[in-house]
Structure 1
Amino acid sequence: MAVAETAGLGPVLAFGLVGVFGVGAQWLAWRLRLPAIVIMLAAGLIAGPATGLLNPSRDFGDLLSPLVALAVAVILFEGGFTLDLHRLGDAKSGVKRLVFIGAPLGWLLSALALVYGAGLSWESAAVFGGIMVVTGPTVIAPLLRTAKLARRPARLLQWEAIVNDPIGALAAVLAFEVVVTARSNLSMGEAITHLALGIVFAALIGGAVGFFIARAFARGWVPEFMKVPVLFAALLVTFGVTDSVLHESGLLAVTVMGLVIGNADLPSYEELRRFKEHATVLLVSGVFILLAANIQIDQLMALDWHAALFVALVVLVARPATVLISLAGSDLPRNERMLIALTGPRGVVLVAVAGLFGQRLAEAGITDGARIGPLAFVLVVATVLVHGFTLAPLARRLGLANTDRPGLLIAGGSRFTTQLAEALMKAEVPVLITDPNHAHLIRPRASGIKTFYGDIIGEAAEDKVELMSYSTLLAATDNDAYNSLIATDLGPELGRDKVWQVPRVKDDRERHALPTQIGGRRFGEGRTLEGYETLLAEGWRFRITRITEEYKLSDWREKRPRAVPVMVLSPKGELRFVVDAKAMKVDPGGRIVSLLPPEVSEEETAARSKRAERPSGQPGPAAPIP
């Protein structure tokens, strides 16, 4: 065992294990529907301190610090790239307050909590307090989707996390440079000049590189297949050059670079965004596993009641005070302010940046800098668990949660979608019909169905549509190409298994077939929108039938031989369109949404009328077919 510890795994095998543990933890969290950060923390602690299988300091040696630094640089570039200033919508005013007032105030209150709660020195508290401005953009999105918050508080929380992500890192950079400069032999004037020149240089280099990259991409100077490699190479060079001039200023440069490129309105924005999302998932999980595995048992054991006091001060004092003071006098209702004040989960970015700067502080001679990493882990786990279990009940208590039932978003107003929406509304399933053609919405509006006039993939929809309220999408306009565009665009956000599309005309012909990555899932055994419209014109009507232990699916098939099943509502309320009627499965408690032929619909209507006319208390015939 001693030989294994001395020899180590080697950087190649250790790197592979980091990938397996990181990505495996993310997948397991998805399967268990738990916050990924909790599973990653457990995986890192098991791989590192618990078993000794992975020891980053031993296995990577001198490569560990630059690996973490480069990964953090890419993560912060992603934060700047995500910050699209044009998409703040009705949350813009609140976000400005939470940034310009909340970030400095949160920095101060967090530093106070670290000094008087955790017992850190002012030097370490100033650096870590800046990082704590970040509220976890990688954590807040899953929590918001689970809690189904109303649009405005959800956007405020999401955009606060996105905007403060780079700001928190920059605050840590500034505090770190001030601390290091104060410990140097430079005079105060020389130190300030050196710091200011380094910051200006980093910002100018990052802005200039971002501007040049955006201009080159927009003018076609770089072919499509080279854009991602060029962007990645420019990111690494920018970080390396600026970091060599002023230590840690590379993080500022790449953040500014991402901000400039992200707001350049590039045609290739979506491709670049998806790449950086994939890269960030890999790097975030890798950095988290590395930092968790590198924690020493004695560091964790050294945490005492001061750590608990620190977490309590952050959750119950620093965060609420920061938000309530920042939003005082705004037009936000009181319940929205309270919800935001009591919601502030920290995430992977905080752990990654805190681990990096904690190590730097320890190397600079500030011994309690080594405590920053374990404290960051404790804060992240505590806030994720607390807000993960309390956000949804709190939102419901304050009247800011949408319905617990997953809803259906329908693109396209027609007879088919209107009657389908009417049937689902009777089953208490939320439905929204959208269409860029105003005339197509006349029918659903007359039926009392919620509608949105406009392009569902346009910027206006981001401000006015509560997308989190709808778990499933049906693209059913009279334009097959537009249906494919909607399904392709919203697929990554909703999940491709939740995005459906009416079959295209000639969809089954090889000449007209589309690649599998374009469009949504087809249903209805090839029946097009025109086919459904024809059935409705002939008198077919939607009916919902519940399957029970007594009335099984086989009974339904026997009683409804000509029925056309369209959807299945699971006992948990999940929505699923029927791809193959013969292979359809429905659990007891589930419901079938189907089209029934005219004669069956007339029989059921007549039976309901007779039951309604029968005097109360008079026995009637046997119960009708469900």
Structure 2
Amino acid sequence: MEHGLSPVMVFAAVGAIGVGSQWLAWRLRLPAIVLMLAAGVLIGPGLGLIDPARDIGTLLQPMIAVAVAIILFEGGLTLNLRHLRDAREGVRRLVWLGAPLGWVFSTLALRWGAGLSWESATVFGGIMIVTGPTVIAPLLRQARLARRPAQLLQWEAILNDPVGALAAVLAFEVVLVRYSSTTVGEGIFDLVLGVVVAAALGAGAGYGIARAFRRGAVPEFMKVPVLFALLLGVFALADAVLHESGLLAVTVMGLVIANSDLPSYTEIRRFKEYATVLLVSGVFVLLAASLDLSLIFALDWRAPFFVALAVLVARPATVFLSFLGSRVPWRERVLLALTAPRGVVLVAVAGLFGERLVEIGVADGAQIAPLAFALVAATVLLHGFALRPLARLLGLSGGAVPGVVLVGGSSFAKALAEALHKAEVPVLLTDPNYSRLLRARVEGVPVFMGDILSEAAEENLELIHYDTLIAATDNDAYNTLVATDLGPEFGRETVFQVAREKRESARHQLPATLGGRPFGGDATLADLTQAMADGWKVRVTRLTEEYDLAAWRDDRPNARLLAVIGRDRTIRFVNDGEDLSPGSDTRLVALVPPDEVRAAREARAAGEEAALTRDGGVVKAGT
């Protein structure tokens, strides 16, 4: 295309393609970051539909810089020190030992693998400390890692991002001293001044905004706009003092706010998370669309050799040396050693310093940008497809069968938990009263004594193993609170709560934004508990080609269908009236009245007795 698209059309197309890639990845259960990379390359150098440099012009780099700053700030907002706990030692080692070791090993890989000069290798090696929060976030969401390795990867990615950028600045200052009239003293002074100013700006802004929010100096509806404006100001001021120090400033600012115990912190963080999803999508598609394929094709055999050294030698050596003598289990060390995706920050910063090196006379600085994209593409593809299988192999991922969290230790909840446990569906029963959990624990059902919303639950429960939650306590308000608070984490389509006692009253009706989906039809917990007292049982029945859903309904006309368990043990909770089409070898979970329980028991006994008189096998008709 000769004239290209207007900037508005480019923004619309990039937004639609980025978010569309994430949605398609969710539907196909593929790594989102891989689809975004492929989509960007396709619409950019592949078909030539979008050329960001041509269509957006000089605004491209500032836009990417601001987007990366917002992404890092949102990452800093997730770094609450109280939640670190058992991962604290690992994070400390990955930052204080891992960063310098990674710099050294990456520099050697670039020098001996890619054949770069020491000047270019040292600058690019500093940038390679960055492990990419823009890539880690979607990867963790897809891989469902256990809490501690997920925390280690997330903290390393966010904290080492500004560290890597500053390492590149330091190396560049050293190179600048050699290739220009700049003295060593001037270079060191500029670097120290930039770091001090950035850290002070970030900490001061974070403390100031937290204090203003806590004292009510900013109205609720203005908090996010004020936060955004301050974020941009801090980033711009720090970057004006020392280039790339703005990343450090916004990370420190987010870290301070995250540890300030603000009442509105959760709402602010969730809004930032939504903004980050859009920014990650857009920036990654833009960078992929900006790729010059001729530079990639110009790379020789040294490029894949360098990538192999970076992934299989430099990263494992960094992790294993950093964790010598630590208490981090070997499985987590292996996972960390083989996981180091690179993303937006690496490409953006590498391209910038590559151009600067060429300007001062380091010719092979031009190779930094294509090598950076080759490393990003390789690690994105590798970790996008391999992280989840590797985590499962090491026992550090949510199981292949997502489970159910039952909140409340009523007789009905215990019966449902025991039935699901026997059906080999992962289940967790929680209640603050330990006596209500004793029977379930005796039956082998995993239990948690305490409030599901407490910090103890957040620290001790691996909720990645569960994708469905049912709030079934005897307190309707608490059920609504649990469903509302945990809805964003589980997904609102998989969060349920039992019917409320006074839901029909206009005075007690709640908006659709509160609570979860109805569970068990219109039966309240009192109704379900009374049914259990009257002899009703939770039963799991297997359907076969001979014994289908219609036959089951004929045998149990009064049973209340609760859920359908598929062949792969995935579970779907249903309500009466929903369109069902379960095939053979699926199982139905239902609350069955006493007369139908008795009839089923008698039919099963009669079938077993008849089977003993036959020469053939037993004919199964459900359990």
TM category (shorter chain) comes to over 0.9
Instruction: Mark the CA change 1:397 to 1:193 in structure 2 (over 3 Å): closer, same or farther.
Output: closer
CA contact (8 A) 2:31 2:385 kept: no
RMSD: 2.6
Q: How do 1:148-163 residues align onto structure 2 when only pairs under 5 Å count?
A: 149-163=145-159
| 1:220 and 2:216 correspond | yes
The residue type equivalent to 2:123 in the other structure is V
2:474 match: 478
| 1:326 and 2:322 correspond | yes
For residue 624 of structure 1, report the CA deviation from its aligned partner: 4.2
2:409 match: 413
- Farther off after superposition, 361-370 or 579-588: 361-370
Q: Deviations over 1:392-421 (max 9, x none)?
A: 444454454554221111111111111001
Measured in 2, the distance between the counterparts of 1:356 and 1:286 equals 19
1:288 match: 284
CA contact (8 A) 1:359 1:369 kept: yes
Q: Deviations over 1:327-364 (max 9, x none)?
A: 11112333332233223333444344444544555556
Instruction: Mark the CA change 1:114 to 1:472 in structure 2 (over 3 Å): closer, same or farther.
Output: same
Q: How do 1:572-583 residues align onto structure 2 when only pairs under 5 Å count?
A: 572-581=568-577, 583=579
| 1:454 and 2:437 correspond | no
1:57 match: 53
Q: What secondary structure, in the 3-state scheme, does the structure 1 residue paired with 2:499 have?
A: coil
Measured in 2, the distance between the counterparts of 1:283 and 1:443 equals 49
Instruction: Mark the CA change 1:561 to 1:288 in structure 2 (over 3 Å): closer, same or farther.
Output: same
Q: How do 1:171-190 residues align onto structure 2 when only pairs under 5 Å count?
A: 171-180=167-176, 183-190=179-186
What TM-score comes out, normalization by structure 2 length? 0.93
For residue 604 of structure 1, report the CA deviation from its aligned partner: 2.8
For residue 498 of structure 1, report the CA deviation from its aligned partner: 1.6
Measured in 1, the distance between the counterparts of 2:531 and 2:358 equals 74
Measured in 1, the distance between the counterparts of 2:459 and 2:372 equals 34
What TM-score comes out, normalization by structure 1 length? 0.92
1:200 match: 196
Out of 557, 562, 569, the residue aligned to residue 561 of structure 1 is 557
Instruction: Mark the CA change 1:531 to 1:111 in structure 2 (over 3 Å): closer, same or farther.
Output: same
Q: What secondary structure, in the 3-state scheme, does the structure 2 residue paired with 1:523 have?
A: strand
1:543 match: 539
Instruction: Mark the CA change 1:366 to 1:491 in structure 2 (over 3 Å): closer, same or farther.
Output: farther
1:241 match: 237
| 1:299 and 2:302 correspond | no
Instruction: Mark the CA change 1:225 to 1:145 in structure 2 (over 3 Å): closer, same or farther.
Output: closer
| 1:120 and 2:116 correspond | yes
| 1:336 and 2:332 correspond | yes
Measured in 2, the distance between the counterparts of 1:356 and 1:472 equals 45
The residue type equivalent to 1:279 in the other structure is A
Q: What secondary structure, in the 3-state scheme, does the structure 2 residue paired with 1:524 have?
A: strand
Instruction: Mark the CA change 1:294 to 1:360 in structure 2 (over 3 Å): closer, same or farther.
Output: farther
For residue 320 of structure 1, report the CA deviation from its aligned partner: 0.9
Measured in 2, the distance between the counterparts of 1:448 and 1:379 equals 47
CA contact (8 A) 1:79 1:165 kept: no
2:16 match: 20
Q: How do 1:295-374 residues align onto structure 2 when only pairs under 5 Å count?
A: 295-359=291-355, 361-362=357-358, 366-374=362-370
Q: What secondary structure, in the 3-state scheme, does the structure 2 residue paired with 1:222 have?
A: coil
Instruction: Mark the CA change 1:373 to 1:528 in structure 2 (over 3 Å): closer, same or farther.
Output: farther
Out of 362, 371, 377, the residue aligned to residue 373 of structure 2 is 377
CA contact (8 A) 1:291 1:355 kept: no
Q: What secondary structure, in the 3-state scheme, does the structure 1 residue paired with 2:56 have?
A: helix
CA contact (8 A) 1:79 1:166 kept: no
- Farther off after superposition, 140-149 or 274-283: 140-149
1:496 match: 492
The residue type equivalent to 1:426 in the other structure is K
For residue 138 of structure 1, report the CA deviation from its aligned partner: 4.3
| 1:71 and 2:67 correspond | yes
For residue 120 of structure 1, report the CA deviation from its aligned partner: 2.8
Q: What secondary structure, in the 3-state scheme, does the structure 2 residue paired with 1:257 have?
A: helix
Instruction: Mark the CA change 1:147 to 1:205 in structure 2 (over 3 Å): closer, same or farther.
Output: closer
Measured in 2, the distance between the counterparts of 1:271 and 1:361 equals 43
Out of 20, 32, 40, the residue aligned to residue 28 of structure 2 is 32
2:597 match: 601
The residue type equivalent to 2:191 in the other structure is L
For residue 621 of structure 1, report the CA deviation from its aligned partner: 8.6
Out of 487, 491, 509, the residue aligned to residue 513 of structure 1 is 509
2:128 match: 132
Stretches of structure 2 that go unaligned for 5 or more consecutive residues are: none
Q: Deviations over 1:122-157 (max 9, x none)?
A: 333333323322333444455456555554434433
Q: What secondary structure, in the 3-state scheme, does the structure 1 residue paired with 2:539 have?
A: strand
Instruction: Mark the CA change 1:170 to 1:492 in structure 2 (over 3 Å): closer, same or farther.
Output: farther
Measured in 1, the distance between the counterparts of 2:579 and 2:13 equals 41
Measured in 2, the distance between the counterparts of 1:301 and 1:355 equals 17
Aligned residue pair count: 622
Instruction: Mark the CA change 1:253 to 1:88 in structure 2 (over 3 Å): closer, same or farther.
Output: same
Instruction: Mark the CA change 1:226 to 1:32 in structure 2 (over 3 Å): closer, same or farther.
Output: same
CA contact (8 A) 1:564 1:596 kept: yes
For residue 424 of structure 1, report the CA deviation from its aligned partner: 0.6
The residue type equivalent to 2:585 in the other structure is G
CA contact (8 A) 2:401 2:426 kept: yes
Measured in 2, the distance between the counterparts of 1:116 and 1:148 equals 36
Instruction: Mark the CA change 1:206 to 1:293 in structure 2 (over 3 Å): closer, same or farther.
Output: same
Measured in 2, the distance between the counterparts of 1:128 and 1:195 equals 17
Q: What secondary structure, in the 3-state scheme, does the structure 2 residue paired with 1:526 have?
A: strand
| 1:469 and 2:465 correspond | yes
Q: What secondary structure, in the 3-state scheme, does the structure 2 residue paired with 1:128 have?
A: helix
Measured in 2, the distance between the counterparts of 1:128 and 1:211 equals 34
